[in-house]
Structure 1
Amino acid sequence: MSFGVGVGDILAISKLARGIWGQIRDSSDHFNAIRTEVAGLYLVLDDVAQNAAGRQLSEKQTADLSTLIKGIRDVLEELAIVLEKYESLWKEPSTMSSKAAKTWHKLNWDQDAIKDFRSRIISNTTILDAFNSSLSSNASRRAAESLATLHERVGNLQLDNDQRERHALLDWLTPLNFPAQQSVFFSKRQAGTGRWLIDTAEFKTWMSTPGKNLVCRGMPGAGKTILASTVIDHLLKMLCGGKTSVVYIYCDYGKQHEQTPVNLIASILKQLLQHQYSIPENVRRSYRHHINSGMRPNAEEIYDLLRSTLSGFFQVYIVVDAVDELSVSGQVRQTLLSNLNALQEVHTVNLMMTSRFIPRIAQELRDPLYLEIRANDEDVRRYVQGHLNDLARCVLRNNDLQEIIVESIANAVDGMFLLAQLHMDSLTDKTSPKAIKKSLENLPKGSDALNIAYEQAMRRIEDQKPGFSDLAKRTLSWITYTDQLLTVAAVRHALAIEVGESELDEENFDEIEDVISVCCGLVIIDPETDAVRLVHYTTQEYLENAGSQHFPSAREDIAVSCLTYLLFDEFGEGWAGDRSKGIGVRSTTRVPLEARLQKYPFLRYAVQCWARHARNYTGTFEDRVGKLLLKFLADECKVSSAGQIVLRKPTLYSFVKRPFGYGLPSKLDFESGILSTTLMSGMHLVAYLNLDDLMSKMLETKLFAADVKDQAGRTPIIWAAIEGHEAAIKVLLHRQDVDVNTIDNNEKVGWSPRTALTYAAYNGHARIVELILEREDIDVNMRGSKGNGMTPLLWTAARGHEAALNVLLKHKDIIVDSPNSQGDTALSMAAEIGHVGIVQSLLERGDIDANHRNVDGATPLAIAVSRGYVPIVKLLLERKDVNVDSKDVDGRTVLGRAEEEVERKPKSPRRREVLEIVRSAIQARSGTI
């Protein structure tokens, strides 16, 4: 190589890369994301140096290599500067400010910057590796790829990365997938069905009038969902594209646990993003921020993203089917309607809803048009004609009989499409023309037709052979009384459970096709979720009302089946996963939890269901359920196996932007992280689930200890306090054998305080704090066994839990100025987070030291000034005993801090206001302090 760059230059850059890799290896975990990439880069650099040695490169090759080396040098030097700045934080004097800065820096390191470095390093490595390959090619391929071609390859790689991030972002927003449901519902429609609705004047007016609302109301079973799918398909074909978008929601009574307000709004955002070529940058930023912090966006954040995304469209059509099936008790329906109304205030949104006749729904909308939904005779005929092949052969050979069937069912349904389906199902077991005609003569009509049709279906089930009838009733009872939809695999396992057996016999499985068949049209499989469900929500209502007649012992049978499943020998190993340290397990070789859940698809439901049914069957431990309960709760390994799933929730770490960098995990951190790795007893589990009646009966047996400790030293009262369960807390507090001041010893929690009172205070459970303080032996000022010395009061101040703090302040033994290991008091912490109410409550105390200095010498006033909290600065300065001339350990005054903040953020109005307030206060007090 005669010019541009030499082997020595390449080796020098390789050495720099190797050195940076060493720094990353020895530094914070925050840089692990690029550790492998840097290592790969210096290895490729070494290969290029060896390959280029002794070669005569062309001018173009030399120029390309020179460009590559310059780009690599730039990114490595930038990274080296960042690492040097990062390391310098750890070499400063051990003052409070430096410690806080280090922790803050560590917790808030810009993950976007890390990703940018990673992307640039990958890009350079890819190009360099391609260049190296071109050097190694034979003479026939001596014409190396041009730099432009290499950049194109990297561009494709980046495009792939972008697509992967796009898919991950959309999945992250919400698991709801309404486009998949649209495909399923529209596929069930007979050609031509629903055309009458699209041709109505009301629909045409709604479609052509910007911002108009349309409410389509109909009786249960009128076919509203199929009509909605027809409308959606029409809108997508006619309007979707460019600056117009069509989105939709299919509400479902069976999916209420999934269809929350946040998920429903997020589903609208998700569909809008799917209609855009690229994801808006503010949505990407939100995604990256929440992914890095381990948190989920709240409803307000999702709504703000939705509003900003809507601005990219001229007009949006939203169709909401079966809005009446959304939960009312959880304000889901009201919240969705409120949000949709708010969207119409700021954007052109045409909203269409289908529902039963519920006046309040229409009242929530602005000046809507109305359409009545009834099963159109022609649509019914199309449906029946399309399903004649499901009937006996005698029908297929007899055109006259076919016409009789079509006309009879069309005349009987009276606007209810569901009846047409049930009537057709009632004919599936008729094998002669006479039997079919007789059945058609007895088709139920009128207002009670639906209930009569269900009763007829249940009679057909009863009239089957005993084995078929029993299978059908067991299936229907499971689907009717379970809280959530069960998959095909879970239903097969549930039906295969044999009471008294300690394992599942695979030869006892029923084929799902047979299960569906014996249920006489009342059960279907949801193709989107693979869940076994009832054909309609009215089926659920009928079976709930008539359940005591058809399956009187269903609830008890389900409880027994769940407990039998949980007692399988397979779960005697305790936690799933490789925890070979032997913490409360009988085996060190076990499958991971996901593998266990896959092998036992009913396990998740069994864990979640047994407690609900146990509430109804705890009169004695001598009955069927009671004996199994006692056996299960006394087996710590099987309890732990179940508990691992109960506690297994998404981790919502909230370490980012916590004041002072304190790392005590939140309630959800405990559920998904610490608690789920701990052997638990039956007492811990019932405390966590707030099963107070069951807990009392367990204690009456003398077989269970009220103060038993788990592997981390936590007692049942600590678990109940973490969750804020009042009923369980009351049972435990009334027992003298419960030590209310027990401190746990889990090293994973480390420096955090760990009494029941501390956990309740930390999570803001004011009522639990109040109950615990009623114990005369409570140590209200107790700290953790090590670390930052935080008391319950300090945690309520640091976390902003005003109600819990006010409860603590009423206790006669509270020490209001008790500091932590960094010298911060509750007042300092409230000033740090800017909580006016807490500052006010503390300042009303006569024993408060408003000028307390932490190890940095900062007073609450100095802290509030640095943060720019105007209301708190005013509150503190209203006190004549607050010292405005106090200096910290670096000699900075309050005024100096205020001036520094203005200099640092000159455009901040509140920081300028703070500076003027401080100056005025000093001037007013001149000569008096």
Structure 2
Amino acid sequence: MMRRTMQNLLSKNPPNRQEGSTETTLADQTSDYGSPGSESVTQEGPSAKTTSIAKSDHPNEVDQGTPESRLSPEAAPEAILNEIKHDPKAVPPLIKGGILNGAQGVHIEGSAQLISAQNYINVYNTVLQRHSPEKDEELFWKIIAWISDINYHAIQADNFEKRAAGTGQWAFDDPIIGKWLEGALGVLWGIGMPGAGKTIISSIIINHLTQKAKANKRICVAYAFARYTDLFTGEQVLGGLLRQIVQDHPSTLPFVKPMYFHHLLHGTRPNQLELLATIRAIFDSDLFDQKYCSLDGLDEAFDDTQVDVLDGLSHLPANLLIMSRPLPLLKERVPEATFIDIIVHESDIKQMIEEKISRLRKLRGLLEKGDWKEKVLKTVLERSSGMFLVASLQLDMLSRCMHLMDLRSALEALPVGVNAMYEATMKRITEGQGCDLALRAVTWVIYARKTLRMSELRHALAVNTATFKYSSDLLVDAETLLSVCCGLITYERETKLVHYTAHDFLVAYLSKPGVDVQATLACTCIARLRNCGFANYKHRITQNYSSRIFVDRCFLAYAHRKWAAHADSASIPAFVEKFVLQCQRFPWNHPSFDEFDFLNSIQLAAACNFHQLLAPWLGAEPSRASQPSPPTLNVNSKSAHGRTALALASMNGHIEAVKLLIEAEGVSIQCSDHKGWSPLIAASHGGHVRVVDLLLGAVAVDHVNAGSWTALMEAASLGHTEVIKSLLRVQGINVNAREPVSVQGKGDSALTLAACNGHLAAVQLLLGADGIEVNASHWEYGTALAQASRWGHTGVVAVFLQRHDVDVNSSQCEEGTALMQAVEMDRMDIVELLLKHDKIDVNATRSDRSSALSLALARKRLEIIELLKGHGEK
């Protein structure tokens, strides 16, 4: 019998049930991956006996795999035999019962149960079913980390902590909000002006619901936040919601596991529809009596994200709470929504003012004299225009007063409105002692490519902007930094502006003729890189950004990730050019790979698309006197991983750099790296169709990489349709090229790769190619039809079934026919499709003599059993 991959088995085997638990079989729930099927879910509630999964340290990143790094079938059996060898009790019952007697290459010795096996027949399917709580918990946290790295729990905790005690209680007396909390309203949309406290009210309502959910596990509460500092896509928002649901309710894990193992196997990520379908399946199940979702700050999201998330969440079977500024163009998308105005209640803002005063020691001392406290309360209430934000900034301004005369003058001049408040705050900053530090800090918070932790911001500011040299002697403490910024910057877990309305004001304020902010930020990043020796780094980096070099040196990871992006947004400064010229072994990594490569000057310029530097270096335009070429310019020089400048530019899709390098004298266009990737294969893998078009005609289109994949196979596996179109236009291309069957290869072709990953458009393009072999078979999972059936790609299956030349009963693989694989993976909709085909053979068997019916019986899939019997299964 042929071996099965570990991931295949894990995706099929149901978890062991805890004795005595109340269980519900989710037979009716389906998605693109099928239902949780025979995986039973522990029903949470007062009467259920459950085993909770405790929090523990878990990895931040999960290896999602790539098409060229699918698990070797050799690994799993070897690990199992080692386990049996060290623990005789681990011998599975099937082996003890003699099912392996007489099997070739298997020897069992007496009570010691020593096993030597060469073909591993029937070994690890059974062993994997042994229950291991530690493994379950490890897998749980791996899946949590894989779903999303967005932690909405932390954001909610920060928001709720910022409220003044006792504020927002009016929300629970409001009849409309009360109806929504009872579940009588589907979508409740809170509308308020900036600074009106929408986020605080939202956090108070969420906290109320989460407290109820702690007492009753049949209540599910999920919440998301859109922020201008973190412009998440629809996929990211939904991923964050799903992570939160699974983390709070481990009983929902069976809904996610099929999707996890599918994408882990294929090196892909779930899209928005998949995530939404999974959340819907969870909410449609009988796990919960009440479901609540909340989305705060919808107006701060991308326009596309606003539409995508709103459309998706508003159609879920849950009560949805939205908070935003007025968005009249989006109202029509949710006609059933109930709208409510979020207006600051005077009692709330008064409570906030009093609480903030209690924390401002100097101001509190002044207000203890006479009736000054009442005067300040009255003035701030009047001039804040009902905005928490303005009131808070006004109090920050008053806190600087040294004596009552200062306080009197400040109260009389207290600005009204948001922009006036920002103007006054900037005036205070520019007149203060730490003006330069404050302006640089605000600049970093506005223009950083990701939100910075306080430690990162402090180290970014420890660079002398006159010399661009980093020095730890320039570090300032967080308290001083926040003080000189006069309330414009806040710090929770990350630094950010006090409010998103400050962003537009400060961008206009800081924009000055002749000042290139991006160039300054790029040079600051390079100062940190130089300080850590990155121009000629002599050591290996084996753990990506979790390596010690990045962990121990604050701001280095940001500087390394983002310096080129900042430089590319500017006219490349001389300081940046000088640094690139100095590079002999610069650590560089591509987002698709965990490994670090090491580049010289020309390779680094190509990888970063610094075509302004490459052009004079390659003689495409005259060099300036101040712009020398690298000392040893070799256009075909290879990096530590065998990549040339052309390969690096191609894999990143840098069309300008590729154009220059293709025309360079003596350039090698076909040169392969350590993976066997040529520039064409690298560009095809990345989906860079313009680069592919440039390279075609100058290279062998059927060149294969080290895994025997062609450019067409790379593009097909990832669904890059435009690249596929370009490749198919090349006369004589081998559309049926296949990897050889070996330890690493399994006989994949472009068609099987597109089908197993569910890329419908790619499949249709390939099926239209002359001479395409529709029935080419992968040694383990079979034809493209069988693989699409196995992995639940209904649309792809339907396309294959329309062809007259498809062999619907092909079984030249370990897992059997398309029907068997659809049955085994509980793909009810695909089973129904296949059974409608007039040539389907429901009685076919595979090498282990299993039939579709026996597989359905083993999984107790009653609906499928009835369907098969109705089609003449014997």
The TM-score, its normalising length taken from structure 2, stands at 0.69
Deviations 1:381-424 (A, max 9, x none): 33333333526467255343333322211110111110011112
For residues 426 and 814 of structure 2, what CA distance do their matches in structure 1 show? 79
Deviations 1:831-888 (A, max 9, x none): 8879787678779889x6969988689998998999995645765649xxxxx99999
Aligned positions of 1:568-607 closer than 5 A: 570-571=533-534, 593-607=546-560
1:398 is the counterpart of 2:374: no
For residues 500 and 111 of structure 1, what CA distance do their matches in structure 2 show? 65
1:185 is the counterpart of 2:143: no
Percent identity reads 22
Give the match's secondary structure for 1:571. coil
For residues 404 and 903 of structure 1, what CA distance do their matches in structure 2 show? 80
Aligned to 2:173: 199
For residues 505 and 362 of structure 1, what CA distance do their matches in structure 2 show? 53
In structure 2, relative to structure 1, the CA distance for the partners of 1:305 and 1:283 (3 Å cut) is farther
| Contact residue 409 and residue 420 of structure 1 kept, 8 A | yes
Aligned to 1:303: 279
| Contact residue 649 and residue 657 of structure 2 kept, 8 A | yes
In structure 2, relative to structure 1, the CA distance for the partners of 1:232 and 1:29 (3 Å cut) is closer
2:253 to 283, 292, 296: 283
State the Cα distance separating 1:708 from its structure 2 match. Answer: 4.3
2:418 to 441, 446, 450: 450
In structure 2, relative to structure 1, the CA distance for the partners of 1:410 and 1:391 (3 Å cut) is farther
Give the letter for the 2:550 counterpart.
L
| Contact residue 597 and residue 604 of structure 1 kept, 8 A | yes
2:588 to 642, 660, 675: 642
Aligned positions of 1:804-823 closer than 5 A: 804-811=762-769
Aligned to 2:93: 78
2:394 to 416, 423, 426: 423
In structure 2, relative to structure 1, the CA distance for the partners of 1:575 and 1:845 (3 Å cut) is farther
Give the letter for the 2:317 counterpart.
L
Deviations 1:293-346 (A, max 9, x none): 84777414641563267x445445555433333443235x643563354214xx
Give the letter for the 2:486 counterpart.
C
| Contact residue 215 and residue 362 of structure 1 kept, 8 A | no
In structure 2, relative to structure 1, the CA distance for the partners of 1:890 and 1:313 (3 Å cut) is closer
Aligned positions of 1:770-789 closer than 5 A: 770-776=725-731, 778-784=733-739, 787=742, 788-789=746-747
State the Cα distance separating 1:486 from its structure 2 match. Answer: 1.2
State the Cα distance separating 1:379 from its structure 2 match. Answer: 2.7
For residues 707 and 232 of structure 1, what CA distance do their matches in structure 2 show? 58
In structure 2, relative to structure 1, the CA distance for the partners of 1:699 and 1:392 (3 Å cut) is farther
Aligned positions of 1:249-260 closer than 5 A: 249=223, 251-253=225-227, 254-257=229-232, 260=236
Aligned positions of 1:396-795 closer than 5 A: 396=367, 398-445=369-416, 449-465=417-433, 468-497=434-463, 504-526=470-492, 530-549=493-512, 552-566=515-529, 570-571=533-534, 593-617=546-570, 623-624=573-574, 627=577, 630-631=580-581, 635=584, 637-638=585-586, 641-643=587-589, 647-648=593-594, 678=641, 680=643, 682-697=645-660, 706-733=669-696, 736=698, 738-745=699-706, 752-776=707-731, 778-784=733-739, 787=742, 788-795=746-753
Aligned to 2:296: 321
Give the match's secondary structure for 1:221. coil
For residues 544 and 290 of structure 2, what CA distance do their matches in structure 1 show? 52
| Contact residue 742 and residue 756 of structure 1 kept, 8 A | yes
For residues 524 and 736 of structure 2, what CA distance do their matches in structure 1 show? 47
Give the match's secondary structure for 2:713. helix
| Contact residue 576 and residue 592 of structure 1 kept, 8 A | no
| Contact residue 725 and residue 768 of structure 1 kept, 8 A | yes
For residues 105 and 576 of structure 1, what CA distance do their matches in structure 2 show? 45
Give the match's secondary structure for 1:192. coil
In structure 2, relative to structure 1, the CA distance for the partners of 1:188 and 1:455 (3 Å cut) is same
Aligned to 1:109: 125
1:335 is the counterpart of 2:335: no
Give the letter for the 1:455 counterpart.
E
Give the letter for the 1:605 counterpart.
Y
Specify every segment of 5 or more residues in structure 1 that has no aligned partner in the other structure, as ranges: 1-25, 43-71, 93-101, 120-157, 274-278, 580-589, 650-675, 746-751, 879-883, 921-929
| Contact residue 670 and residue 679 of structure 2 kept, 8 A | yes
Aligned to 1:748: none
State the Cα distance separating 1:565 from its structure 2 match. Answer: 4.2
State the Cα distance separating 1:722 from its structure 2 match. Answer: 1.6
Give the match's secondary structure for 2:653. coil
For residues 785 and 153 of structure 2, what CA distance do their matches in structure 1 show? 52
The TM-score, its normalising length taken from structure 1, stands at 0.65
State the Cα distance separating 1:220 from its structure 2 match. Answer: 0.3
In structure 2, relative to structure 1, the CA distance for the partners of 1:683 and 1:307 (3 Å cut) is same
Deviations 1:327-386 (A, max 9, x none): 43235x643563354214xxxx4x443321223565555755543223333333333333
| Contact residue 262 and residue 299 of structure 1 kept, 8 A | yes
In structure 2, relative to structure 1, the CA distance for the partners of 1:648 and 1:470 (3 Å cut) is farther
Give the letter for the 2:652 counterpart.
L
Aligned to 1:221: 195
In structure 2, relative to structure 1, the CA distance for the partners of 1:853 and 1:461 (3 Å cut) is closer
In structure 2, relative to structure 1, the CA distance for the partners of 1:206 and 1:190 (3 Å cut) is same
In structure 2, relative to structure 1, the CA distance for the partners of 1:497 and 1:292 (3 Å cut) is farther
Give the match's secondary structure for 1:371. strand
State the Cα distance separating 1:775 from its structure 2 match. Answer: 3.8
For residues 835 and 532 of structure 1, what CA distance do their matches in structure 2 show? 44
| Contact residue 112 and residue 288 of structure 1 kept, 8 A | no
Give the match's secondary structure for 1:533. strand
| Contact residue 724 and residue 765 of structure 1 kept, 8 A | yes
For residues 673 and 553 of structure 2, what CA distance do their matches in structure 1 show? 26
Deviations 1:176-195 (A, max 9, x none): 54454444333333333223
Which 10-residue stretch deviates more, 246-255 or 780-789?
780-789
Which 10-residue stretch deviates more, 29-38 or 217-226?
29-38
Deviations 1:811-837 (A, max 9, x none): 557566777789977678778879787
In structure 2, relative to structure 1, the CA distance for the partners of 1:373 and 1:576 (3 Å cut) is farther
Matched length = 730
In structure 2, relative to structure 1, the CA distance for the partners of 1:338 and 1:34 (3 Å cut) is same
Give the letter for the 2:711 counterpart.
A
| Contact residue 283 and residue 291 of structure 2 kept, 8 A | no
For residues 833 and 236 of structure 1, what CA distance do their matches in structure 2 show? 36
State the Cα distance separating 1:764 from its structure 2 match. Answer: 2.3
| Contact residue 773 and residue 811 of structure 1 kept, 8 A | yes
Give the letter for the 1:412 counterpart.
R
For residues 187 and 850 of structure 1, what CA distance do their matches in structure 2 show? 63
| Contact residue 516 and residue 523 of structure 1 kept, 8 A | yes
State the Cα distance separating 1:531 from its structure 2 match. Answer: 1.0
For residues 202 and 865 of structure 1, what CA distance do their matches in structure 2 show? 48
In structure 2, relative to structure 1, the CA distance for the partners of 1:845 and 1:494 (3 Å cut) is same
In structure 2, relative to structure 1, the CA distance for the partners of 1:561 and 1:112 (3 Å cut) is same
Give the match's secondary structure for 2:196. coil
Aligned to 2:617: none
State the Cα distance separating 1:525 from its structure 2 match. Answer: 0.8
Aligned to 1:29: 76
State the Cα distance separating 1:481 from its structure 2 match. Answer: 1.7
Give the letter for the 1:757 counterpart.
L
State the Cα distance separating 1:739 from its structure 2 match. Answer: 4.2
In structure 2, relative to structure 1, the CA distance for the partners of 1:504 and 1:424 (3 Å cut) is same
For residues 343 and 590 of structure 2, what CA distance do their matches in structure 1 show? 49
Specify every segment of 5 or more residues in structure 2 that has no aligned partner in the other structure, as ranges: 1-72, 108-118, 596-638, 825-829
